[in-house]
Amino acid sequence: MRIFGALLIVVLLAMAAVLYLSKEDTAASLQAVTAIAADLRESGVSRSHFEPETAARMVSVMQELVDSPDQIAGHTEDLKTIAATAASWADAAHAPSAELRASVALRSAAGDLREYGLRSSQLALANAARHLDSARSALAGDITGTAPTDAVRDRLDNLQRGQQERYQELEEELNR
């Protein structure tokens, strides 16, 4: 019976050590993810302070375009300006934050509307509407993901949008 008791204590101590070490590993991993999110920046983009009122106006303008898609082709330059402004806000935003989420969503919506202007894709229009909903939620302070992993996702989405904008520029040049 003594051997069983001693064995049980050793097993419990081993389990406690494993749990402690895994907790420390998780904390270190979380710090590493936070550092990655802070370093994921787009090169060549100037930082500017987020302006909630301007962002709300951008949402309204783009919502009008979603509601009247035949108008999108005439607003390509406006959409480029919105995307550039949102990119500068995203670059300056802390990660994770509502400002970062709203900026990335605005940039994504502008890109999707430009995509619709190029191809008349209903999927692009639906994606733009979804991104506008996300921007509205972030502007209202109602964001569901403030973990460092969400910040990394937002930063990566922003970088991906920058790449897609360069492809759209090339495609627009070829279509002229």
Amino acid code (one letter) for 148: P
Name the DSSP class of 143: -
- The domain segmentation of the chain, as residue ranges, is 40-175
- Rounded Cα gap, residues 169 and 175, in angstroms: 10
Identify which of 118, 56, 101 has the alpha carbon closest to the alpha carbon of residue 82. 56
Q: Which ranges of 42-97 does DSSP label H, i.e. alpha helix?
A: 52-67, 76-92
pLDDT tens across the length of the chain (176 residues):
566 665 666 666 666 666 665 666 555 555 655 555 555 566 677 889 999 999 999 999 999 999 999 999 999 999 999 999 999 999 888 878 899 999 999 999 999 999 999 889 999 999 999 999 999 999 998 876 667 778 778 888 888 898 899 999 998 888 87
Check residue 22 and give its pLDDT: 64
Alpha-carbon distance of 63 to 109, in angstroms, equals 9
